Structure 1
Amino acid sequence: MPDFDLGESIPPDTAHAVSVSLPTWRSNVGYEEGEDWVVNRMATGYPRFFIHKSIQILASDIVARFGPKDARALLFPTRKTAARCVEFVKRLAPPAVSAALETVHLVLDRTKPGTEALAPLSPAISAVIFPQDAYPFVKQYWQHTGDGASSRRAEFCHGLLKEGLLRLDDDDGASRGSVPASPVSPAVPSSPKPCRGPRRYQRPASFDMPKAPATPPSPPPQNNSSDRDSGIGPDIQETSRFLEERFGRNLDVSFVEPARSAIKRRIAGALRSDRELSMTPLPEREMESNTRGIANLREDDVYLFSCGMNAIFNAHRALLGARGGHLKSINFGFPYVDTLKILEKFGPGCVFYGHASEADLDDLERRLQGGERFLALFCEFPGNPLLTCPNLVRIRQLADAYDFAVVVDETIGTFANINVLPYADVVASSLTKIFSGDCNVMGGSAVLNPNGRYYRALKDFARAEFEEKDSYWPEDVMFMERNSRDFASRIDRINSNAEAICEALRQSPLIKSIFYPKFNESRANYEACKVPGAGYGGLISVVFHRCEHAMAFYDVLNTAKGPSLGTNFTLTSPYVLLAHYQELDWAEGFGVDRDLIRISVGLEATEHLVSVFKAALDAAGKSSNGQLE
């Protein structure tokens, strides 16, 4: 039975977990208010909002070695991603603030004995060093774009830095010599109490900087004399030789590229999930019979990114590069918060349609008929958190008639349940969610429709600008491939569990509204894209007639409770409080109730899950003013 303490990682005892326990309604509000009793207990958090401790420690070490006193740093996987961050800050921050930014680039020193085994990983890290006044701007870039370094990359590179196996790399690529080894890392500095509100990139502390230092766990040492003789510490040698150990087998680093290929083919719907990795390249003809229904779809039409938001950011960046940067985009439907921020801050702006309704499409069509032109329309299918499905058939018709691209985020629907690629130019997804399921690794994908109008221009941009192999860390690739092998079978179970929970919720007089694709007014739009024999997904949102019943239900519900979705276990969240705390009235203007509870359904036994939800409903009905009797 779930029993997670406040601030504990979800899953528990997981070094790279992507969720954190906020077990009561009050703790969610306390987090948003920046209250010490909540934020000081956070062991982790969602990675684009919470700066993982392994990243914090390496950043502090880099500042201590290379930066001025009292400076801070955030880490990026490549020189180009760090440069984009600096460019963003210089565009928004006062000149005196942006002028103080510095970058440091560290790469493997291949002149050192024993580093040959590490070369296939191409370990590197770039740091943007900045004064405290620049933090809100740097954090905006980190959060919105997903361009930041992963915690596994930071952990690995910090080990190399301490062993003296990284060197400074100048802007021209020349070495400035190895960085001296240092076995002791500086403590992570303490910070003042965080600011209020959901704009976490404005916070100087809370999730971003804990008050006590922490040391990321190291893998167990190898009892091998060659490890000791190589000059590489046992933790680094372990990671370089074995990126993951699971199901009783070791995976050598040579399997990184086969793993990358397997993920792409799985996303394309052209690979049997449980196939073992092989060094023999898979024949391209296997791609012809894919569940996307596009025979000319190729493996290299699928791109992997460090997280789902990074896939959306790069899709937008590619469209700006391919079509020119003068046209606004359209955000169609109530958005996941950072999608709207990307469209607003990284181009000429956007037009926002928050309902994703036919009336919204009517208005858009009038504007198009009046001569307005747009870069692209971005939408989710279904949307988060109301599970509304836009009319992709009509959107595609408008796009063809008026020359704009269509980008669909299929994270919630998942390609096992829906097929939206025929209606889109780009399909993006967060692999962190149900594709992985284990809640311990980040990832994202973008699929280009080879029959799309902008396909060639997008391919040319991707070939020149995307840094997939440098930016998506090999360890994360390996974990993602392993986690996703049973993706198809997990979806079936989650679909069934979600429908059973919906039926239980629909019988309660406490419930005002249930949002689920099967029961929404936009069901016909979902059915138009539904894979034959598939289901309606694992995400449900529910609104109670009375806030106090919602609070009591959440507090007593015996599931894991925290941010994220698509986990193999049921995960519940008062989503609107976390995503829109300072703009609750604005959200309600689009039908998104401030007390909405979002349920991400897991793989537990169906009968057990139904009993858990019925028990919570019974307890909520007996509560008084949100207090359980």
Structure 2
Amino acid sequence: MDGEDIDGSETSRKWPAPIRLGHTIPEGDVHVSDLNPLFLQGFIFMVYQAVSVSLPTWEASLGWATRKPDVINKMKSGYPRFFIHPMITHLASLVVKKYGVESSTLLAMLFPTSDVAERCAAYISKYHQDPQLQTMHVVPKWESTLTGKWTSIHAVLFSPENFPYAKKFWQHTGEGISSRRAELCLSLITAGGMERVDGGTHQPSDNADKVRKDLEAVNGNGNLGTGEKTTSTSLDHGKEAWKEKATICQRVAHLASNESVIVSSSDVFLYPAGMKAIFDIYRALLIAFPSHKKTICYGFGYVDTFKILSTFGPQDAILYGHGTVAELDELEALLESGTTILTLFCEVPTNPLLKSPDLKRIRKLADRYDFVVVCDDTIGTSANCDLIPYVDVIVTSLTKLFSGGCNVMGGTATVNPRSKQHDAIREALDAIFVDTYFPSDAIIMERNSHNYAQRVKATNRNAQLMAELLHNHPSTEQVFYPSLSRTKQNFDQCRRPDGGYGYLLAIKFKRITDAITFHDRLDVAKGPTLGTNFTIACAYTIFAHYNELQWAAQYGVEEYLVRVSVGMEPTAMLLDVVKRALKYTEVSIDG
């Protein structure tokens, strides 16, 4: 940043300047913390592989939601399932140009396996027939230590009018390729190192040295997307990243365990995105228990979870979106009437209203009526919540605080070893699981997650204090946070003895103008994601439900909610930033 030192001096430790519209988050701004090694020098390097983008004002958020060109054209990045990374878009256009029909106007989506590509094609066909719909397999010409399945691309080509359907599949399932994989494939395709295969078994020649030479000619020093020079050692190391993947699974298993139940890392399935974990566990349950079809979503959770349950299942999913005792009574009555269900999905707590389900009662219902309980602990975190006594499967978006770096995607599904359905679920997951987690992504995720438990404690503390400050301010009507919620006792049921209430909160202001003012004046990063090591806020409902605002509002998810994911910044500095933003709402109150 202009005028600022980056050597850890006092100059570099002042509060970060606002990130410009459309720029990646993180971008190189100062976010100071004594706990996170990334911050020890008082800065973060710009990350082209970032998983968020700056939308610093309410107006900019509306511009994004309504696709205004003056906002969209400035987007350098975005959340990867909602915004297809420029590297992936560029690679897709090259695949169509080089290997598709000549002078084709077709578009392409890129996937890691043929099964995923076929699922995408089937999804498009379900909604709109496309005579030009086709799948294509593009592979490296040469065998080498860095190629193999990681540079094998399965493309789905379709007419432009079918882009919305292809995009929905990409967004909901989390099955698209990562930007780091696209970066490597771009290096190969630009060097003339890839070709189309139209069936049969491809047998590339052994020419690793040529691949390295051509990559260096294209990239200078080469880059696997980790920000490191791709020497032969790093290429070999990055081929599979088995060690890093095993370490991640061990970490997740350890965090899920309690004093009486030790979770094995073999019960943890690692995926390239949290939604892919949810999608695969749902697919596995449909295979394991084919006679039970109906699915329940209890509580108003993350937007794409219910989309998966309602779109990809054989029957419509039932949403109990208020997450109340009355809705549990309604569910129990439904079960008593003889209706069988496959699974109940829930979150601890929900996003964005931070409500917690009564897991003890849900567990009793599941045992009595024989259904599987799947719970997302991304916001509550495994460091705060012990879910083993209550659920059959835990799903987690590692993209969020487990990583914290806002620069890599990942997810897990953890099967509870005490679940009576353990063996059936494991067998079904094993049958469909394919490791598609790109090695460089795994390497970065493993590095980022080293001090996860410490970071959870730091964000717990900051979020609790911020929630209390906001709760006591005259401009706020309600602050949504687990410790302030009517469902606090439900969260406490599963809260570990040393656990807190998490890093996420949302605010409903008494005046719409105060919501906008606070959002715009809050001097933190603003963009679509949560669980970052630094504080990040957003106009959540506009991002997630702009085209269904009335539907979301009936469940309490109102248009002018301000969501804040609280980071690790020094507490006094962070609270001072909040107080300064609140002063602007006080002006409107006094006036």
Looking at structure 1, the residues matched to 138 and 132 of structure 2 have their Cα atoms a distance apart, in angstroms, of 20
Partner in structure 1 of residue 79 of structure 2 = 46
Aligned amino acid, residue 266 of structure 1: R
Aligned amino acid, residue 60 of structure 1: S
Partner in structure 1 of residue 536 of structure 2 = 571
Partner in structure 1 of residue 216 of structure 2 = 233
Aligned amino acid, residue 118 of structure 1: L
Partner in structure 2 of residue 104 of structure 1 = 136
Partner in structure 2 of residue 477 of structure 1 = 442
Equivalent residues of 1:430, 1:443 under 8 A apart:
yes
Looking at structure 2, the residues matched to 242 and 8 of structure 1 have their Cα atoms a distance apart, in angstroms, of 18
**What secondary structure, in the 3-state scheme, does the structure 2 residue paired with 1:475 have?**
helix
Partner in structure 1 of residue 246 of structure 2 = 261
Partner in structure 2 of residue 615 of structure 1 = 580
Please list the CA deviations of residues 107-149 of structure 1 after superposition, one character each: whole Å capped at 9, or x if unmatched.
233xx3xx43224774221111111122111111111101111
Aligned amino acid, residue 48 of structure 1: R
Please list the CA deviations of residues 385-411 of structure 1 after superposition, one character each: whole Å capped at 9, or x if unmatched.
010000011111101111111110111
Q: CA deviation at 1:433?
A: 0.4
Looking at structure 1, the residues matched to 549 and 365 of structure 2 have their Cα atoms a distance apart, in angstroms, of 32
Equivalent residues of 1:29, 1:577 under 8 A apart:
yes
What 5-or-longer segments of structure 2 have no aligned partner? 1-15, 28-45
Change in 2 beyond 3 A, CA 1:67/1:417? same
Partner in structure 2 of residue 19 of structure 1 = 52
Looking at structure 2, the residues matched to 228 and 366 of structure 1 have their Cα atoms a distance apart, in angstroms, of 63
Aligned amino acid, residue 328 of structure 1: K
Aligned amino acid, residue 106 of structure 1: V
Looking at structure 2, the residues matched to 497 and 238 of structure 1 have their Cα atoms a distance apart, in angstroms, of 41
Looking at structure 2, the residues matched to 121 and 340 of structure 1 have their Cα atoms a distance apart, in angstroms, of 32
* Matching of residue 320 in structure 1 with residue 278 in structure 2: no
Aligned amino acid, residue 160 of structure 1: L
Please list the CA deviations of residues 181-228 of structure 1 after superposition, one character each: whole Å capped at 9, or x if unmatched.
xxxxxxxxxxxxxxxxxxxxxxxxxxxxxxxxxxxxxxxxxxxxx789
Q: CA deviation at 1:326?
A: 5.5
Deviates more, 1:476-485 or 1:31-40: 31-40
Please list the CA deviations of residues 250-275 of structure 1 after superposition, one character each: whole Å capped at 9, or x if unmatched.
866437111001100111126xxxxx
Partner in structure 2 of residue 78 of structure 1 = 113
Equivalent residues of 2:527, 2:537 under 8 A apart:
yes
Q: CA deviation at 1:463?
A: 1.9
Q: CA deviation at 1:300?
A: 1.4
The 5 A counterparts of 1:300-315 are: 300-315=266-281
Q: CA deviation at 1:488?
A: 1.1
Partner in structure 2 of residue 339 of structure 1 = 305
Partner in structure 2 of residue 295 of structure 1 = 261
**What secondary structure, in the 3-state scheme, does the structure 1 residue paired with 2:537 have?**
strand
Partner in structure 1 of residue 333 of structure 2 = 366
The number of residues matched between the two structures is 548
Equivalent residues of 2:257, 2:388 under 8 A apart:
no
**What secondary structure, in the 3-state scheme, does the structure 2 residue paired with 1:375 have?**
strand
Partner in structure 1 of residue 12 of structure 2 = none
The 5 A counterparts of 1:23-422 are: 23-68=56-101, 69-93=104-128, 95=129, 97=130, 99-109=131-141, 112=142, 115-119=143-147, 122-174=150-202, 230-233=213-216, 245=228, 253-254=236-237, 256-269=241-254, 291-293=257-259, 295=261, 297-324=263-290, 327-347=293-313, 348-422=315-389
Q: CA deviation at 1:442?
A: 0.5
Looking at structure 2, the residues matched to 340 and 374 of structure 1 have their Cα atoms a distance apart, in angstroms, of 16
Deviates more, 1:326-335 or 1:426-435: 326-335
Partner in structure 1 of residue 10 of structure 2 = none
Equivalent residues of 2:215, 2:222 under 8 A apart:
no
Please list the CA deviations of residues 88-114 of structure 1 after superposition, one character each: whole Å capped at 9, or x if unmatched.
112222x3x2x32111112233xx3xx
Q: TM-score, length-normalised on structure 1?
A: 0.83
Change in 2 beyond 3 A, CA 1:228/1:48? closer
Equivalent residues of 1:31, 1:39 under 8 A apart:
yes
Q: CA deviation at 1:447?
A: 0.3
Q: CA deviation at 1:27?
A: 1.0
Partner in structure 2 of residue 515 of structure 1 = 480
For residue 5 of structure 1, the aligned residue among 9, 20, 24 is 20
What 5-or-longer segments of structure 1 have no aligned partner? 179-225, 271-289
Aligned amino acid, residue 252 of structure 2: I
Change in 2 beyond 3 A, CA 1:22/1:619? same
RMSD over aligned Cα, in angstroms?
A: 2.4
The 5 A counterparts of 1:491-570 are: 491-570=456-535
Q: CA deviation at 1:236?
A: 6.9
How high is the sequence identity, in percent, across the aligned residues? 41
Looking at structure 2, the residues matched to 621 and 354 of structure 1 have their Cα atoms a distance apart, in angstroms, of 34
Change in 2 beyond 3 A, CA 1:293/1:91? farther
**What secondary structure, in the 3-state scheme, does the structure 2 residue paired with 1:233 have?**
helix
Aligned amino acid, residue 9 of structure 1: T
Change in 2 beyond 3 A, CA 1:589/1:240? closer
Equivalent residues of 1:396, 1:406 under 8 A apart:
yes
Please list the CA deviations of residues 327-352 of structure 1 after superposition, one character each: whole Å capped at 9, or x if unmatched.
11001101211111111111122111
Aligned amino acid, residue 141 of structure 1: F
Partner in structure 1 of residue 564 of structure 2 = 599
Equivalent residues of 2:190, 2:218 under 8 A apart:
no
Looking at structure 2, the residues matched to 100 and 480 of structure 1 have their Cα atoms a distance apart, in angstroms, of 38
